[in-house]
Structure 1
Amino acid sequence: MKPESITTSYRRWAPIYDATFGQITHAGRRHATEVANQTGGDVLEVGVGTGLALPYYAPGVSVTGIDFSEDMLERARAKVSEENLSQVRELRQMDARKLDFADDSFDIVVAMHLISVVPDPEQVMAEMARVCKPGGQILVVNHFAREEGCLAWFERKFAPFADYLGWHSNFPKDRVLGVDALSLVEEKHLTKLGLFTFLRMQKAA
């Protein structure tokens, strides 16, 4: 997707995101934060959105969140203030293709329902790997394209509307698995229909 399409789409989605798409993606958000809490340390959430996942991080975890959309970040900051989320260290506007952090900064990097939205997912994955510490983990939750069945047919039909919807319905999983420094250590389908997939990758020590 083009950056200007992302801005427009998420300005449109921001006021109703929590009550709509946020409900659909709840299972993936809870699972990813539970895995992050088990490891602990410094966490970067790329594409923090309206901050729906922030309350689920344990108090002992230090969370930095970034998002391209200021409209989403305004709502995330309000959640942090209203719910007194002391585990959230910082929320910043940033392009995920060029993260403004030093190499090896975070123990865990999380991207939930983001990678099929960004203009250059391969570059985003490379940046996530760069800022992750050696031996650290990359956690990705996303919908990936199916190769067959009725859902695959619907994914192809909705694909031309990606810029309007704000996400790609037929995004291939291979596009997140090409970073040499990362190895896939876990893959899990979430929800009964397996609409979303959880991927846990580890950076070489």
Structure 2
Amino acid sequence: MATHDLDTSVVENAYARWAPIYDAVCGPVMLKGRRAAAAAARAIGGRILEVGVGTGLSFDDYDASTEITGIDLSAPMLDKARAKMASGRYPWVSSVRQMDAHAMDFADATFDCVVAQFVITLVENPEQVLSECHRVVKPGGRIILVNHLYSETGLAAAVERWAAVKTRAMGLRPEFPFARLQAWSQSNSDSVLIERRKVAPFGIYTLVTFERMALAA
């Protein structure tokens, strides 16, 4: 199935509208997927980049074994995240910055792990964002994604094809396939797929982990 890329401005406008109610509406729906991604990141520890950190909904899912840097394109969402940081409850969150994930302002090999929760299907050029994640993670580090990915067969696939047309103006892309992530990894000689598994509720989300391999000199 063809997957149409999104306009960044559409996504920005959508999340500006969502910011005031995002935690209340999306928090419970994304809870299991979010916790699965954060648990995988905590197992690695160290410096972790949260791409699409949004309102800081995931801050509670980390601890002092990690140092979190968050980026997001949406200023209204980041305002919510900064308010949470100001509460003093999250000393492991070092900073949040407004930044385009297509062109990150970080040096190569900066982070031990990069996490993108419910993000990769919302960006204008997913492959470019993945390449930036790959660039800023250290050799031996991991990229952890959690997202709803397109169901290739059955009733769910038909529903997602219908929903794709209806939800584009909301900044959503429910028809995004795993094959696109896999093709990106296969095009990079130092990227390897480590894990792909369904997570609750009802397996509607998929956790995908890539490792940036340390190439022999």
Which portions of structure 1, spanning 4 or more consecutive aligned residues, are displaced by more than 6 angstroms? none
Shift of 1:151: 1.4
Give the counterpart letter for 1:70 in structure 2. Answer: A
Residue equivalent to 1:185: 194
SS in 1 for 2:168: helix
**Are 1:67 and 2:72 an aligned pair?**
yes
Shift of 1:152: 1.2
Identity of aligned residues (%): 41
Deviations 1:185-204 (A, max 9, x none): 11110114211000111111
CA contact (8 A) 2:32 2:201 kept: no
| Cα distance between partner residues in 2 of 1:65 and 1:85 | 13
Please, which runs of 5 or more residues in structure 2 have no aligned partner?
1-5
Give the counterpart letter for 2:204 in structure 1. Answer: L
TM-score (norm: length of structure 2): 0.91
Please, which runs of 5 or more residues in structure 1 have no aligned partner?
none
| Cα distance between partner residues in 2 of 1:27 and 1:15 | 22
Alignment of 1:102-181 (within 5 A): 102-177=107-182, 178-179=184-185, 180=188, 181=190
Residue equivalent to 1:100: 105
| Cα distance between partner residues in 2 of 1:114 and 1:160 | 19
Deviations 1:18-74 (A, max 9, x none): 111221111011111111111111000000011110121111211000000001100
SS in 1 for 2:24: coil
| Cα distance between partner residues in 1 of 2:206 and 2:155 | 18
Give the counterpart letter for 2:14 in structure 1. Answer: S
Residue equivalent to 2:14: 9
* Aligned mate of 1:197, from 206, 210, 216: 206
CA contact (8 A) 1:70 1:93 kept: yes
Residue equivalent to 1:50: 55
Give the counterpart letter for 1:196 in structure 2. Answer: Y
TM-score (norm: length of structure 1): 0.96
Question: Superposition RMSD on alpha carbons, in Å?
Answer: 1.1
CA contact (8 A) 1:142 1:196 kept: yes
Count residues with an aligned counterpart.
Answer: 205
CA contact (8 A) 2:27 2:57 kept: yes
